[in-house]
Amino acid sequence: MKVEALLFAGTAAFFAVVTTVYATFHPEPAGTSALLVSFLMSALISFFLWVQHRRHGDRPQDRGDAAVREGAGPLAFFSPRSSFPVFTAVGTALAGLGVIYGLWLFLIGLGLIASGVAGFVFQHNDR
């Protein structure tokens, strides 16, 4: 996962620079905390991917001299189709609107989210 770790490390570095500049010249709590959190999140992802790289070693994607045929083979299971992402997204949108318009709408959204997540989890139960 070396390439991915480096990608996110680059993102983290970018946010580190921007946060420093922002905090120095135009300190303001909302923006500074948003940029700081973005740096931390990117750094976290990069760290996780680096740990995976250390654990599993180099993949063909991580080596510059790898041949294409080295990557052949089964990859992973990807659900061919699912309606639950749309379902959960609609529920999240309603829950977000419910924060504005009232608890009743939030609860409706929450119900849709719960059933959407349950659908996600149990859709390929028989695999």
Partner 1 sequence: MMMPRRRTRSGGMPEQRPEQAPQRTPERTSERTSERTSEPAPERTRAGRAARGSFEYLDDRLPAAEGGSLLRKAFPDHWSFLLGELALYSLILLLLTGTFLTFFFHPGENEIRYDGSYLPLKGVLVTEAYASTLDISFDVRGGLLIRQIHHWAALVFVTAIGVHMLRVFFTGAFRKPREVNWVVGVTLFVLSVAEGFCGYSLPDDLLSGTGLRVVQSMLLSIPVAGTYLSFFLFGGEYPGEEIIPRLYVTHILLIPGLLVALVVLHLILVVYLKHTHWGGPGRTEKNAVGQPMVPQFAAKSAGLSMMVFGILTVLGGIVQINPVWNYGPYRTDQVSTGAQPDWYVGFLEGALRIMPPFETQLWGHTFMWNILIPTVILPGLLFLGLYLYPFLEKWVTGDSAEHHVCDRPRERPVRTALGVGGITFYAVLLLAGGNDIIAYGFGVSLNGLTWLFRVLLVLGPVAAFMVTKRLCLALRAHDLERVHEGEETGEVHQTVEGGLGEPRRPLSQRERYTLLMRQAPRPLEPARGNGTEDDEGDSGGDGRGRRVAARREQLRVTLSRWYYQDRID
Q: Which residues bind partner 1 (CB under 8 A)?
A: 68-69, 71-81, 101-102, 124
Let me know: does 37 contact 15? Beta carbons within 8 Å: no
Measured from the CB atom, the residue of 27 and 73 that comes closer to partner 1 is 73
Let me know: does 70 contact 51? Beta carbons within 8 Å: no
Closest separation in Å from C-beta 69 to partner 1: 5
Measured from the CB atom, the residue of 51 and 58 that comes closer to partner 1 is 58
Measured from the CB atom, the residue of 33 and 79 that comes closer to partner 1 is 79
Q: Report the C-alpha gap between 81 and 25 in whole angstroms.
A: 49
Closest separation in Å from C-beta 75 to partner 1: 5
Q: Report the C-alpha gap between 91 and 109 in whole angstroms.
A: 4
* Residue whose structure tokens are 């135009």: 26
Measured from the CB atom, the residue of 46 and 109 that comes closer to partner 1 is 109
Backbone φ and ψ of 81, nearest 5°: -155, 150
Closest separation in Å from C-beta 124 to partner 1: 8
